Chains A and B, each alone.
Chain A
Amino acid sequence: MITFIIKGLIRDHHRSLFPIIMVTIGVFITVFFQAFMGGFLTDMIDSTARFSSGHVKIMSRAYAENSDQVPNDLALTGVNELMTKLKQEYPDMTWVKRIQFGGLLDIPDENGETRSQATVAGLGVDLLSPGSTEIKTMNIAKSVKSGRMPQSPCEVLVSNDMAQRLGINLGESATLISSSMYGSLAISNFTVVGTIHFGIEMMDRGAMIVDVADIQQVLNMENAAGEILGYLPDGVYNDEKSQMIANKFNQKYADSVDEFAPVMGTLKEISNLSDYLDLANNMAATIAFIFVIIMSIVLWNAGLLGGLRRYGEVGVRLAIGEHKRHIYLSLIYESICIGLVGTVIGTALGLTAGYFMQKYGLDFSSTMKNINMMIPLVFKAKITPVTFYIGFFPGLLSTTLGTALAGIGIYKRQTASLFKELET
C-alpha cells in the first residue's frame, strides 16, 4: 500500500509538488532565519564579551553603580593580588584587567601647536606582557588596518576612522589629555604606530588602544584597574556557569560595607543583554513554533483543497471497503513523505544560504554610523547543530497537523450518499 501511495504522490503533482514547495519554502526560511539570528545574536554577545563585559566582570561596588560614566576614581585597587587569587581559584579561566578612559587626543603640528584634536574612548589592555591573551581575545592583530602592533611602552593604536579624520600619520606623536584616578590633570605623549578597524561601530568611532601598564602610569592607577574581566575556558558564554561563579565570588564580600569592595557580575547582568540572551536561547523553539502554526494553517487549507479534488477517490475507496481510519492514515503517510522531502530540500537550501551568509555576511556598516551597541557591522549567520534539524519540526509537524485537520472530513462522510456523490 505504501508503494501505491508513493506512486500516486509522484504522479499527481497537485498532491505532491505544491505541498512540497510550501514545505520547502517554510523550512528554508526557518533554517536560514535560525542560522542568521543565531549568528547575529552570538556575534553580538561575543563582541560584548570580548570588548566590554567578559563572561564575568569584577568592579568596585561604587564603580559598578556608575559604570556608564567609567569613573576611574572609583576603580578597583589591589588588582594584582586579586588577580593572583582569581587565577588560583579558577585556574581554567582567563582573567584580564582593563581600564576604560576618556580624554582628548591632541595632534600637534611641527611647531608643537594643535593641528587637530578629538575626544577619544580609550581602552587599556595588556598588549605587551608575554603570553597576554588580549590580542587574541580582541582580535587586535588582525584588526590592524595600517602600521603595526605596539611593541614597546607609549606606543598606541587609534581607530582608522579617527586617524583619517584627524589626519594622523603613522609614527606621529599624539597627546592624551585626561583625568587621573585622583582627579588631577593627566597628560602624556604617545606614538601612533598603527590604525585599527574592529568592524564594530562603537569601537571604531574614536577608539584608542593602549597598553594597560602605560595607562595605569598615566592615570596614576598603579595596582588599580577599572575592571577585571573573566572568560570561561571554552570561550563560550554560559549563563548558568557564570552566575555560579559570580554568586560564589560575591558571597565572600557579602558582609563587607566597603563601597570599594569588589563585586562580580555576569555578561547577562552587566550588558543589559538578558532579553537578547533569552531570545537567543529560545530562538530555535520560537521560530519552529511560529512556522508550525503558519504552515499548518496553509497546509490545512491545501489539504482541504486536495480533499475536494480527491473527493471521488476517497468515496470509491470507502465504497470498496477501505476503512475510514485506513484512508485517514494513508493521507497522514502521504503528508509525512511530503514533509520529509520538503524538509530535506528546504534544509539543504537553508544550510547553503546560511553557509554563504556565515562566510561572507551582510555589510550594514553604512546604516549604523551612530549606533552605541556592540553590534558587528557585518551580520553573519552561524550554522550550529540545531540548524541541521530545526526545519524538521515545522516541516513534518505542520504537514502532518495540516493533513490531520483536513482529513477529519473523511470521518464525517456518510457512506449512504456515496452512490449519489460518485455519480456527479
Chain B
Amino acid sequence: MKNGQLITIKELVKDYPVGKGYFRALEDINLTIGEGEFAGLVGPSGSGKTTLLNIVGSLDVPTKGEVNVLGQSIGSLNARQSANLRNHSLGFIFQTYNLLPVYNVFENVELPLLLLKMEKDKRRELVDQALEWVGLQDKRKSRPAQLSGGECQRVSIARAMVKSPKIVLADEPTANLDAKNSHNILQTMEKLNQELKTTFIFATHDDKVIQYLHRKISLDDGRVVNDEQIIKE
C-alpha cells in the first residue's frame, strides 16, 4: 500500500466461460482507490460493476492483471486467505439486506465479531457503537421482520461497519428503498465515511446514490469510460 492507496488495479481482465468460448466482463481496468474515498462504480446493467466489486471484495479472481487490496494480491489468495481478508477488512452491504431472520438486530450485527472470536464484552461494546452510528439503539431486540426496509438496510450497514473495516462494498444499496429512506441511508454512510475514514465503494445506477458520490467511475461494456472526482460544496 502506497500513499494511502487501499486498492490498486492494473490491466485487469475478467473472462467468463460461455460454451466453448468466453465472455469478457472486464477489460483493461486500471484504477487506484485510496483511504476514505466515497466512490461509485456507475453504469448500465451488464457494464461490469458487480464483477469488479466481486473481485475487489475477494469473492472472485481476475483472469489477467493485478488487483491488490490492502496489500494482498487477490489473484494469489486461496479460499481461506480470501475469507480471512473479507472477515477482517471488508464489509458488505447488499441490495436485499440479507439479515438472518431468526436473530434480532443485535445478534445480526454481532455475527462478524463472533467470526473474529472476539470477547463478549468487546462485542457488546462494538455492536452498541455500530447501532448508535446507524441510530438503531432502541431496536436492538427487534427481529428483521419487525423493521421497515430502511431500518433493515441500516442494520445491514451496522453489520458491515461493526468490525471497523477499511473498505465497505455496497451493491445497489438503495434499490429496494423509497426516496426518503434512500437519502437517510446514504447520509448515514456518508457520515461514517467522513468520521471513520472508511472507504465506501458502490456499484449503482441509481441517481440518488450518484448524487452523494465523491468519485464516479463510469463503466461501459467492461471498460472504464470515465473516472471523475466530484467536488462537494
Contact = CB atoms under 8 A, between A and B. Distances in A.
A320 B111 contact: yes
A423 interface: yes
Given A312-B98, A423-B95, A322 B171 contact: no
Nearest to B112: A320
B79 A320 contact: no
A316 B100 contact: yes
B231 to A, nearest CB: 30
A279 B189 CA distance: 70
A319 interface: yes
B50 A319 contact: no
Interface residues of B, number: 35
B54 A419 contact: yes
B189 to A, nearest CB: 17
A1 B118 CA distance: 10
A322 B103 contact: no
Interface stretch (A4-12, A86-94, A112-120): A4-12
A318 B59 CA distance: 9
Contacts of A412: none
B96 interface: yes
B171 A12 contact: no
A386 B216 CA distance: 71
Contacts of A316: 94, 98, 100
B115 A321 contact: yes
Contacts of B60: 415-416
Interface in B16-41: none
A11 B102 contact: yes
Interface in A319-336: 319-324, 326
A8 B98 contact: no
A419 B94 CA distance: 7
Interface string B163-193: 0000000011001000000000000000000
Contacts of A416: 54, 59-60
Main secondary structure of the interface of B (DSSP, over half): helix
Q: What range describes how many residues of A lie at the interface?
A: 20 to 34
A420 interface: yes
Contacts of B83: 318, 321-324
Given A415-B60, A420-B50, A422-B96, A7 B103 contact: yes
Nearest to A315: B98
Which of B50, B110, B172 gathers most chain A CB within 10 Å? Answer: B50
A418 interface: yes
Contacts of A11: 102-103
A422 B50 contact: no
Of the listed residues A4, A317, A320, A424, the one surrounded by the most CB atoms of chain B closer than 10 A to its CB is A320
Interface string A301-316: 0000000000011011
Contacts of A422: 94-96, 98
Contacts of B152: none
Contacts of B102: 7-8, 11-12, 15
A1 B85 CA distance: 20
B70 to A, nearest CB: 13
Interface of A: 1, 4, 7-8, 11-12, 15, 312-313, 315-324, 326, 415-416, 418-420, 422-424
30 contacts: A1-B114, A4-B107, A4-B110, A7-B103, A8-B100, A11-B103, A312-B98, A313-B98, A316-B94, A318-B83, A319-B59, A319-B86, A319-B92, A320-B91, A320-B92, A321-B84, A321-B85, A321-B90, A323-B79, A324-B79, A324-B83, A415-B59, A415-B60, A416-B54, A419-B50, A419-B59, A422-B94, A422-B98, A423-B95, A423-B175
